[in-house]
Amino acid sequence: MRGNMNNMMKQMQKMQKQMAKAQDELKEEVVEGTAGGGVVTVKANGHKEVVEVVIKEEAVDPDDVDMLQDLVLAAINDALTKVDELTNQRMGKFTKGLNLPGMF
């Protein structure tokens, strides 16, 4: 029985190392969210950090700042949704369908 417990602990430690490595690799991954047909583009890394915002000139209308703000917000949310999808894809192999809210 002790041998089984040792093997299980070794497997858990190995999985923890693999998960940590996968999370580190996610920071290097960049996804792109867009809004307004591409007039606003936001890039975010796998740790949900926005790393770039690009606003094309045609999106800038001094009389409609609210529209620009909405486009930026939509692009950020699109990028963060894609980060979630990427994270679930990469980390899902470790959880094998377990629902662990807030873990990733």
**Partners of 40 in the β-ladder:** 35, 55
Number of domains in the chain: 1
Report d(CA 45, CA 30) in Å as an integer.
4
Mean pLDDT of 76-86: 94
- Is there a domain that residue 100 lies in? no
- Is there a domain that residue 1 lies in? no
- Which ranges of 1-104 does DSSP label H, i.e. alpha helix? 2-28, 65-95
- Averaged confidence pLDDT in the chain: 85
Q: Which domain holds residue 40?
A: 29-93
Local confidence band at 102 (pLDDT 50, 70, 90 cut-offs): low
- Is there a domain that residue 35 lies in? yes
Q: What is the pTM of this model?
A: 0.68
Report d(CA 84, CA 76) in Å as an integer.
12
CATH number where 65 lies: 3.30.1310.10
- Is there a domain that residue 101 lies in? no
- Is there a domain that residue 62 lies in? yes
Local confidence band at 103 (pLDDT 50, 70, 90 cut-offs): low
